[in-house]
Amino acid sequence: MAFTIAIAGKGGTGKTTLAALLVRYLREHGGEPILAVDADPNANLGETLGMRPEVTIAELLDEAVSLQKAQSPAMTKEMYIEYRLHAAMVEGRGVDLLVMGGPEGPGCYCYANNLLRHFMDELSGGYRFVVMDNEAGLEHLSRRTTDSVDVLLVTSDPTVRGLQAAARIDRLATRLKTRIGARYLVVTRAPEGGLDSVLEEEIARSGMSLLGVVPYDPAVVEFDMAGRPFAGLPGSSPAVLACRGIFDRLVVRC
């Protein structure tokens, strides 16, 4: 079974950047093969990895729901999803990508989602790591499109309000049916001098466990602006260096 690391947090708090840098770290540390899952409807993990999907899972489920309505005798929904899942998978060197897409249409997706979960469980067996870039509301985890998560990283910007939002997501995670092994906070885009004492106090009050801090890195902004994959960021860039430390600590704790 693959080791699953999910990343959640409010929009704009650095989830996708952290997910892409985690994929980079795992590739550099013998963690391949990796399945990267973009579970944020505002999907852009593929761009940071330099991979583009042909079809998203949401589009595929839409097609499957219409197929059921048409009651095609030639192909069951199950066969159709399995067949189309291959088109939805972008295969790269050491890393494959699945983009969930969405939001879902008004139809009933329960059956399709159950099928998807079944395929995801089967699929994830072929990988050493699954890295999931989630949305703030943890919809995919609450729908249990994945069976269990070993580590949930919750991202926050370096503000009290941001930390309070992260704490809400962290609490939400404890109420899901999905089993989550460990939960950590990662503060991103932090000022050079580290976290202000007000923020440290807020973190202590929240009860979240701080795994690490990613500093503000102009190279990340530059690469984002130019649409360049993060694999090309210099190894000496502050965000890459900080993430290396963060993921080294994560490996030790797991």
Ligand X SMILES: Nc1ncnc2c1ncn2[C@@H]1O[C@H](COP(=O)(O)OP(=O)(O)O)[C@@H](O)[C@H]1O
Find the part of the chain contacting Mg ion (CB under 5 A) among 14-22, 190-198, 204-212, 223-231: 14-22
What tokens were used for 63?
Answer: 């097609």
Q: What is the contact mask toward ligand X in residues 151 to 190, using x (rule: CB under 6 A)?
A: -------------------------------------xx-
Q: Across the strands, what pairs with 132?
A: 6, 37
The answer to whether 162 and 196 are in contact (CB under 8 A) is no
* Residue type, position 25, single letter: Y
Query: What is the SS3 assignment for 26?
Result: helix
Count residues contacting ligand X (CB under 6 A)? 17
Our finding on whether 188 is near Mg ion (CB under 5 A) is no
Q: What is the contact mask toward ligand X in residues 189 to 228, using x (rule: CB under 6 A)?
A: x------------------------x-xx--xx--x----
Q: Which does 221 bind (CB under 5 to 8 A by kind): Mg ion, ligand X, none?
A: ligand X
Single out the residue of 3, 15, 130, 173 in contact with ligand X (rule: CB under 6 A).
15
Q: How far is the CB of 197 from Mg ion (least distance, A)?
A: 29
Q: How far is the CB of 15 from Mg ion (least distance, A)?
A: 5
Our finding on whether 13 is near ligand X (CB under 6 A) is yes
Q: Cα separation of 50 and 58, whole Å? A: 21
Q: How far is the CB of 121 from ligand X (least distance, A)?
A: 26
Before 103, cis peptide (omega within 30)?
yes
Q: Cα separation of 10 and 13, whole Å? A: 6
Our finding on whether 16 is near Mg ion (CB under 5 A) is yes
**């879902």: which residue's tokens?**
104
What tokens were used for 220?
Answer: 């990340």
What tokens were used for 20?
Answer: 């892409």
